[in-house]
Amino acid sequence: MRVLVIGSGGREHALVWKLRRSPRVQALYCAPGNAGIAADAECVPIAADDLPGLERFAREAAIDLTVVGPELPLTLGLVDRFAAAGLRAFGPTAAAARLEGSKAFTKELCHQHHVPGAAFGVFRDPADATAYIREVGAPVVVKADGLASGKGVFICPTVAEATRAVDELMRGRVLGDAGTQVVVEEFLEGEEVSFMALSDGTTVLPLATSQDHKRVHDGDRGPNTGGMGAYSPAPVVGPALHERVMREIIEPVVHGLARQGTPYVGVLYAGLMVQGDRAKLLEFNVRFGDPEAQVLLVRLRSDLVDLLERATAGRLAGASVDWDPRAAVCVVLAAEGYPGAVERGRPIAGVDEVTEAVVFHAGTRLSDGALVTDGGRVLGVTALGDTTREAVEAAYGAAARIHWPGMHYRRDIGHCALARGAA
Ligand code: AMP
Ligand code: GLY
């Protein structure tokens, strides 16, 4: 089988690394990829949102299966476009990808299916949003409706900050069209967890649980990032809660979308807030999490091509997923300045000395044959261990061998699991 992966981050490197291990994959391409991905796949210089370019390449290279990493090509309709051209792509159609592309769409769908989540209001008029904020009080969360690369969520400890966020989004249009509509919602306390499942439109197969560390500094302080590290499994989700999440959140949404004629095919990622024996939905993503994909894919024993193919063909019923029982931990090594603006092109040392972990590349390129930084999140050092503690130790042992000027990373990845006694 000839496979194309779309994207250029750590998630896509993990996908390529895993697909490369499938005996069914004869040719593997990645568009556009990065320096690490180039070791496992042939990189083609086509941007992830260049839909005509990707379609042309998939036809010319006779690609049998395209695996879409990031959300943007999905919300732009890549899967619809490929289907119309007779090409098979794994991921939701544009209509189903609204689960990530529009927070208002998702809130309303979830409300209709009684999915537990934060109380909310959806507004097109800033005066109405402000009146609602005054009524519910702080703390409160203001979210841009559309895609905003993680910059559209404002956690506001005071009413004044919340009204300022509404002002910036709706009057100042700091995020452009993403802020035409805003969602104002209740602030939820608890422990965040990532719950991913494979869906073929009707059958849903849960993947292993994982947890991400969104804040840039140790102790969950500082600004939000795309994710500074992850681990799997997440001991906060026991069997009873797992069953409840499937029944109350994942299945109602997948079945609801199927009934309205826009079935969901792909990975459905629910960001959950766990409060005791219950979980509330924070958001849906329509793709694998990153860095969560890195810890999931090193634990996945089943053939990924089989699973993705079954999902795109509506044949997940009866399938099962086999996991390595060991724990996996990923520590993200980030560039100076991340999550703000970063300097690129700094030479990276030590990657070849790592033996106890897999180093997934997230933002790297080759410059005159030398590996250099090329993004905010640069590498994801991912290790397995018999316990979470052993995986943490292996990942940090590997991270300590790598260096470039300005590199930084969190020292407490996995702390929630360790605090729960998973060690
Ligand atoms: P989102 O892009 O919706 O996942 O939001 C980004 C991050 O903001 C989440 O991962 C949470 O850490 C936080 N967040 C979002 N919504 C809420 C909420 N209603 N209550 C508390 N934290 C939230
Ligand atoms: N790690 C969070 C995400 O992929 O959205």
DSSP secondary structure letters along 212-250: E--EEETTTEEEE-S-SEEEES-TTS-HHHHHHHIIIII
Token reading at 90:
């794994």
What pairing do the DSSP bridges indicate for beta strands 140-144 and 153-156? antiparallel
Alpha carbon nearest to ligand 1 atom 6, residue: 153
User: Which residues, in sequence order, are bridge partners of residue 6?
Assistant: 31, 68
Ordered by start, the domain boundaries in the chain are: 2-93, 119-186, 191-312, 327-422
Alpha carbon nearest to ligand 1 atom 19, residue: 187
Compute the distance from residue 42 Cα to the ligand 2 centre, in Å: 26
356-382 residue pLDDT tens: 999 999 999 999 999 999 999 999 999
Alpha carbon nearest to ligand 1 atom 8, residue: 153
Instruction: Give the residues surrounding ligand 2 with Cβ less than 6 Å away.
Output: 212, 226-227, 285, 289-290, 292
Which among 115, 117, 80 is positioned nearest to 97, based on CA atoms?
A: 80
Compute the distance from residue 182 Cα to the ligand 1 centre, in Å: 14
CA dist 286 and 74 (Å) reads 8
- Provide the 3-class DSSP secondary structure of residue 359: strand
- In contact, 328 and 215? CB cutoff 8 Å: no
Q: What is the pLDDT of residue 36?
A: 98
Three-state SS across 136-204?
HCCCEEEEECCCCCCCCEEEECCHHHHHHHHHHHHHCCCCHHHHCCEEEEECCCCEEEEEEEEEECCCE
Alpha carbon nearest to ligand 1 atom 7, residue: 153
- Provide the 3-class DSSP secondary structure of residue 310: helix
- In contact, 291 and 227? CB cutoff 8 Å: yes
- In contact, 407 and 336? CB cutoff 8 Å: yes
Query: The CATH number of 119-186 is which of 3.30.1490.20, 3.10.200.10, 1.10.240.10, 3.60.10.10?
Result: 3.30.1490.20
Give the number of whichever ligand sits closest to the CA of residue 69.
2
pLDDT at 95 over 90: yes
Task: For residues 231-247, give the mean pLDDT.
Answer: 96
Q: In the 8-state DSSP scheme, what is residue 300?
A: B
Task: For a ligand 1 pocket test, name from 100, 110, 155 the mutation site with the most ligand atoms within 8 angstroms of its C-beta.
Answer: 155
- Tell me the whole-structure pTM to 2 decimals: 0.95
Q: What is the pLDDT of residue 415?
A: 82
CATH of domain 2-93: 3.40.50.20
Give the number of whichever ligand sits closest to the CA of residue 191.
1
Give the number of whichever ligand sits closest to the CA of residue 288.
2
Supply the DSSP string of 19-30, one letter for each residue. Answer: HHT-TT-SEEEE
Instruction: Give the residues surrounding ligand 1 with Cβ less than 6 Å away.
Output: 118, 141, 143, 153, 155, 185-188, 192, 214, 224, 271, 282-283
**Residue keyed to tokens 């790598």:** 402
Q: What are the CA-CA distances from residue 345 to residues 57, 132, 359 (Å)? A: 29, 46, 19
> Is it true that domain 191-312 has CATH number 3.30.460.20?
no
- In contact, 362 and 338? CB cutoff 8 Å: no
5-56 residue pLDDT tens: 999 999 999 999 999 999 999 999 999 999 999 999 999 999 999 999 999 9
CATH of domain 327-422: 3.90.600.10
Q: What is the pLDDT of residue 147?
A: 86
191-312: same fold as 119-186? no
